[in-house]
Amino acid sequence: MEKYPNINILINVPQNYIPKAEFVLRTYCYILRLNPKFYYKQHTEGIHIYYGVYNTHNYPVRIHFQPDTAEFFDGLELYPLEKVNFRKFNREFIPFLFSQNGEIYTLYEDFCAIRKDIVASGFYFLSCWPEYILSCRGLAKSRVDFKNSLQYRWGFTEIPVVDIYCRILFKVISILLPEYVRDLHWQDGKDFAVALSHDIDYWNYWTREHLHKTYRYNLSTIYKRPLRAVYKLLCHFVSKAISNNPKSKIKKLMKKEEKRRVRSTWFLMAKDDYPDSRQNYITNPEYREQIKELLQDKDVGMHGSPEAAFDLDVLKREMSVLQELGFIPIGFRTHYLHFDYQKSFAVLEQAGIKYDSSLGYWEHIGYRAGTSFPFYPFNIKENRPFQVLEIPLAVMDTTLLSKNAMNLNVFSARLRLSDLISRSAAYNSLLTLLWHNNTFDKIDYPGWGGLYWRTINNAKKRNARITDLKSIYEEWVNLSF
């Protein structure tokens, strides 16, 4: 059996919409381990999948397309909420756009008509179209507003709708074209994948100055919260004032990962003028030596400043700092998740960044681009995919625990992560985790470090491939036919 067989796809849509349709169908084919061969406009023998205006040829798989869809993407409008059509698939209610009412697909004797436009719907989410429209209307250079997303408004943030569109295509192919069904497992026969990463916002969170500030705060609140204030004073004195060694904390974290035979990506900051001086750790000679010693054989990515995600010169300057330490950062994640899809991917592409993992919401876990799988984002201005692989960020520790975000306790967070693991296993997909190194502090974040290890253990029991982002990148580019 051919590993990645050619599957013939005929696209019969307006010229300017062809690259968008091809981008989505190619993304689906990567996920389904198929090698797409595209044909355009005219009928050709041997076509397996047809996407375009209605014609009389009974191709095995026909995907609905309505002519005004191409015109929509030539404009600068949001899709009307009242036209979003929800249908149930695999026990999930998912939204469809640009689609017919009724069932998701209809089976005939020798072909299947997919009544929902899973291509245009997929493009709307994969391109983060609403963010593009809001950016065109003057969105500031900052984090995207989660509450402006379709995911928030309709409550499907934790459902990877694009993955499910792809699964619909997979189901139809398995019925009409079973010879094109391929094994969707990850490397080494794993059912799904988990990518681990750490953003190093502080190499040493507990500097002497910050420790004294914390002492003063706890002393000033001792009458309002006596038990908690005394507990913090004692524990911080014992664990920080007596023996505060950031190097040993990082080594301990690494040893625990090595014991579980997993790898993670370490995103380092390289700016030297943050208002919080603790974040300027890259200029500290002692810390620089520790970083070189501990991370020399790890996947080290660029934890770029908010400015670096918008300014090529700033990004190159920060990358050069890591290069001086002997690292060659091919991965990027912006600090605070300040990231404008169209502007930031253009900057990363020019800088030669190979993969990014910034597409996540700060306020909520889930799937900002509608997918958990790696994909090449789309350059709307130039009507082509960017040459930067996006590895979507699904879960960040501070999102789970912050009062300004989800504000979950450890038990509730554990249940949510368990649900995401189950969904990843069901769709043979990817779950990308971000845990900051300071979140492993048992005094200030009791139970949250344990949740990280428990999540890894749970994923291992479910037959997950657990590794760093660079390994995910390398595995995925091998599928890029």
For residues 101-119, average pLDDT: 94
Q: What angle do CA 373, 376, 382 make, to 5 degrees?
A: 150
d(CA 73, CA 92): 27
Secondary structure class of 182 (helix, strand, coil): coil
96: number of Cβ within 10 Å = 24
Q: In which band, very low, low, confident or very high, does the pLDDT at 480 lie, cut at 50, 70 and 90?
A: low
Distance CA 217, CA 414 (A): 31
108-117, 140-149, 311-320, 447-456: the lowest-pLDDT one:
140-149
Query: Given pLDDT bands bounded at 50, 70 and 90, which one contains residue 215?
Result: confident
Q: Check residue 118 and give its pLDDT.
A: 98
Identify the pLDDT of residue 39. Answer: 96
By the 8 A CB rule, do 85 and 99 touch? yes
Measured CA to CA, the distance from residue 386 to residue 248 in angstroms comes to: 40
Is there a contact between 455 and 413 (Cβ–Cβ < 8 Å)?
no
- Please tell me whether residue 319 adopts helix, strand or coil conformation: helix
**What is the topology classification, in CATH, of domain 187-206+245-477?**
TIM Barrel (3.20.20)
For the segment 298-319, what is each residue's pLDDT rounded down to a tens digit?
999 999 999 999 999 999 999 9
Q: Name the helix (H) or strand (E) containing 348.
A: helix 341-351
CA dist 336 and 329 (Å) reads 19
Q: What is the pLDDT of residue 243?
A: 67
Instruction: Report pLDDT for 140.
Output: 56
Predicted TM-score (pTM) of this structure: 0.95
**Is residue 244 pLDDT above 70, yes or no?**
yes
Q: What is the pLDDT of residue 168?
A: 97
Q: What is the pLDDT at residue 109?
A: 87
Task: Give tens-digit pLDDT for 156-173.
Answer: 999 999 999 999 999 999
pLDDT, mean of residues 104-109 = 93
β-sheet bridge partners, residue 6: 35
Confidence of residue 141 (pLDDT cuts 50, 70, 90): low
Task: Please report the pLDDT score of residue 55 as a whole number.
Answer: 84
Q: Are strands 112-114 and 192-200 parallel, antiparallel or unpaired?
A: unpaired
The band of 148, judged by pLDDT with boundaries at 50, 70 and 90, is: confident
User: What is the model's pLDDT at position 228?
Assistant: 83
pLDDT of the residue at 242: 66
Least confident span in 47-56, 225-234, 261-270, 359-368: 225-234
Query: In the chain, what's the furthest Cα-to-Cα distance?
Result: 82
For residue 275 the two structure tokens come to 């208002």
Name which residue leads in pLDDT, 352 or 210.
352
| Nearest partner of 393 among 143, 86, 39, judged by Cα | 143
Average confidence (pLDDT) over 425-450:
96
Highest-scoring range by mean pLDDT, 19-23, 56-60, 131-135: 19-23
Angle formed at CA 276 by CA 270 and CA 281, multiple of 5 degrees: 35
The pLDDT value recorded for residue 136 is: 87
More confident of the two residues 93 and 2:
93
Are the beta carbons of 150 and 361 closer than 8 angstroms? Answer: no
Please check the confidence at residue 262 and state whether its pLDDT lies above 60.
yes
The alpha-helical segments, DSSP class H, found in 221-311 are 226-236, 246-259, 285-295
**Strand, helix or coil for residue 432:** strand
pLDDT(99) > 70: yes
Q: In angstroms, rounded to a whole number, what is the distance separating the alpha carbons of residues 63 and 123? A: 14
The CA-atom distances, in angstroms, between 216 and each of 123, 213, 224, 390 are: 53, 5, 14, 44
Any idea where the domains of the chain sit in the sequence? 6-180, 187-206+245-477, 207-243
Average predicted confidence (pLDDT) for the chain = 94
Q: Is the pLDDT of residue 138 over 90?
A: no
- Whether the pLDDT of residue 2 is over 60: the answer is yes
pLDDT at residue 410 tops 90: yes
Tell me the percentage of the chain whose pLDDT exceeds 90.
Answer: 81
pLDDT at 211 over 90: no
- The set of residues, in sequence order, having a beta carbon less than 8 Å from that of 372 and lying 6+ positions away, is 160, 163, 392, 394, 424, 427, 429, 430, 431, 432
Confidence of residue 479 (pLDDT cuts 50, 70, 90): confident
Higher pLDDT, 224 or 164: 164
Q: Please check the confidence at residue 139 and state whether its pLDDT lies above 70.
A: no
- Name the residue with higher pLDDT: 237 or 109: 109
**Cβ atoms 429, 372 nearer than 8 A:** yes
pLDDT tens profile 315-363 = 999 999 999 999 999 999 999 999 999 999 999 999 999 999 999 999 9
Over residues 370-396, the mean pLDDT reads: 98
Q: Using the 8-state DSSP alphabet, how is residue 186 labeled?
A: B
Average pLDDT over residues 182-211: 94
Dihedral, CA of residue 113, residue 118, residue 119 and residue 121, to nearest 10? 140
